[in-house]
Structure 1
Amino acid sequence: MKLLVLGGTGFVGPAIVDEARTRGYAVTVLNRGHQPSPPGTTVLTGDRHSPDGLTALTGGTWDLVVDTWSGRPSAVRDAARALDGHAGHYTYLSSRSVHADTDTAARTEDDPVVDADPDSDDDTDYSAAKRGAELAAEQNFTGPVLHARAGLILGPRENIGRLPWWLNRLARGGPTLAPGPHDRKLQYIDARDLATWMLDAAEQGATGPYNVVSPPGHTTMGELLETANEVTGNRAELRWAGPEAIVAAGIEPWMDLPIWLTGHDHDFMHGADVTKAQRLGLKIRPVGETIADTWTWLQAIGGTAPQRPDRTPVGLDPAREAAFLAAMHQG
């Protein structure tokens, strides 16, 4: 099986390459060459921001393509056109963010999506860019096209910093703000489980959109933080606080306290129906395995996770956390 990964050096890309190599695939990666490419791959260099950025694909043929692009839709359009007739199946790593912001949180793949332009060169609106890229793949690749709509992605090599921030914060120890409720349900996908499912689905010729995350309530905020605290040495004293008090203090869900959300945002991010993906074999490893493996990786690279340049670093300032905990104690 010949696989082309458009990307392959960030977070999900290497997980796809690792899984493909365990299956004996011949793997080719196309990227800008700014980071080391995964070992055991054929490396093609190309910048999808440039007019001739796909020249290296000329003359190649592949059974499967996985596109991890998260920028302007026109780049996916150009890749789909270049690979049309030269690849058997196209998988686009999309996002559940393609769904429209309605009063009811999107649950299934059939819920309304945002308006988007598949020829757009704009990537400032993440939801529109992802949806536009889905349309670009569908309209410009005449073979089967699969959209893997992931939600929150965690695991080793995470370059957004959400789970790594929590692991480092808990390892630092001391009184630690734990955003509640303790039993707040969480839904995410380990990058390795995402990679496994995408390749399984591509091999089966699956098409259309799929929500690819764990079942709702796969874990809870309590289990996540308590397990992470245990893995990092039980140094932290978790001080649970309710969402009303946290938000009232100006502490932002998701950005200041990664993974954690409130209200409609929580219902959207952590409430997707994954029945369709489960029917196609989606399997999710225990949260403890994701946490332990991420901590092992983080320690191996010196404790500082790589940071995607197009994403704002996450995490609560220690002084603000201390002030909130002090006020909570006095109250």
Structure 2
Amino acid sequence: MDVCVIGGSRYFGRRLIEELRDAGAAVTVVNRGSTPAPRGVVQLCADRDDEAALRAALSDRSFDVVVDQVCYSPLQAAAAVRVFTDRTRRYVLTSTVEVYAELGRPGGAPLPEQAVDPAAWPVDLELPWSDERFRADHYGEGKRQAEALLTRQAPFDVAAVRTAHVLGGADFTGRLAHYVERIERGLPVVVHPAPQPASFVHEPEIARFLAWAAVADFTGPVNAASHGALDALELCALVGSVVGREPVLVAGTGEPVSPFSFERCYAVDTGRAADLGFRFSSAADWLPQAVKDSAVPVL
């Protein structure tokens, strides 16, 4: 299988490339070249926001599947449709649990894929999607509209992997480390008065799932998360048990509250993934080790 990965220079994107390579796929990575590709992987350098450069880098290449790690807006999705028409038969968009950001409710059930239907979600290409700050401030909406545009306009099959909050591995976000450091040092952790559950997934497991999705034949959105959603209080308790310190909790209603403290239920239903044949692990199986790996080194 010939696979193209757009992005993939760090975190689980890099592990995804290695998963595909080690499974025997011929892997081409397209990114800006800031980090060398893993051994045995072809690297093409282009900025995905420069459509002409992307088209030139691909030249006469075609692929069985494209996995897009860095599509954050409908503008980028529209360019991908133009560039990859007649170059691939399948397109896997790495999407996010953030597509559900405004839809959950306190005490609500885990959210299924049909809560956000990309076939019906409105797309507005006139919004300032080229502005990086705007994209960052509208991350969930950008992914919703990217899913929607690909679903409705792409002539190739499209799957959207709605990835839960990723923990473990070379996590550059520092979100789990925030909890570990503050609890280890006895510092207060600010959470909502009644934080709601969120779904998480282990870094190597989401890479495996994306590699599996690349060779599968399903289309449409699919949730990707470990079993066992946790709210911020449960996450604090787990971290405290691992580091051997009682968390000091402070209730807050405004900013800044801690990462992963939410006012709405953020858990997702992974029944579709199970029906398709992929069984996720339980967060309890890997989260304690992820906490240990995020511990502040003793100098």
Normalised TM-score (structure 1): 0.73
Structure 2 counterpart of 1:158: 171
Distance, in Å, in 2 between the alignment partners of 1:290 and 1:40 is 31
Letter of the 2:247 partner, please give it: L
Contact 2:12 2:204 in 1 (8 A): yes
Kindly tell me: are residues 223 and 134 of structure 1, through their superposed partners in 2, closer, same or farther at Cα, counting changes over 3 Å?
same
Residue of structure 2 in register with 1:247 after alignment:
252
Q: Does 1:292 align with 2:297?
A: no
User: 2:89 matched to 1:88?
Assistant: yes
How far the C-alpha of 1:230 sits from its partner, in A, is 5.0
CA distance in 1, matches of 2:68, 2:218: 15
1:148–1:43: structure 2 CA closer, same or farther, 3 Å change rule?
same
Match among 114, 121, 125 for residue 138 of structure 2 = 125
Q: Is the 8 A contact 2:195 2:261 kept in 1?
A: no
Instruction: Work out whether residues 144 and 207 of structure 1, in 8 Å CA contact, stay in contact via their aligned partners in 2.
Output: yes
Pairs aligned (count): 284
**Aligned-partner SS, 2:211:** helix
CA contact (8 A) 2:192 2:252 kept: no
- Aligned Cα RMSD in Å? 3.2
Contact 2:164 2:200 in 1 (8 A): yes
- Give 3-state SS (helix, strand or coil) of 2:89's partner: strand
Gaps of 5+ in 2: 130-134
CA, structure 1 residues 112+185, in 2 after alignment: closer, same or farther (shift >3 Å)?
closer
Gaps in structure 1 of 5+ consecutive residues = 304-331
Q: Distance in 2 between matches of 1:178 and 1:125?
A: 24
Q: Answer yes or no: is the 8 Å Cα contact 2:163–2:224 preserved in 1.
A: yes
Please give the per-residue CA displacement for 1:61-84, whole angstroms capped at 9, x wherever unaligned.
222211012433212221232122
Matched, 1:145 2:145: no
Going from structure 1 to structure 2, the CA distance change for 1:109 and 1:288 (only over 3 Å counts) comes to: closer
Q: Distance in 1 between matches of 2:197 and 2:72?
A: 30
Q: Is the 2:193–2:252 Cα contact (8 Å) retained in structure 1?
A: no
Counterpart of 1:237, as a letter, is E
**Higher relative contact order at CA 8 Å, sep ≥6: structure 1 or structure 2?**
2
Shift of 1:119: 7.5
Q: Within 5 Å, which residues of 2 pair with 1:160-239?
A: 160-171=173-184, 173-177=185-189, 179=191, 185-215=197-227, 217-219=228-230, 221=232, 224-229=235-240, 231=242, 233-234=243-244, 236-239=245-248
TM-score (normalised: structure 2) = 0.80
Counterpart contact for 1:119–1:132, Cα < 8 Å = no
Q: Which runs of 4+ in 1 moved over 6 A?
A: 180-184
Percent identity over the alignment is 25
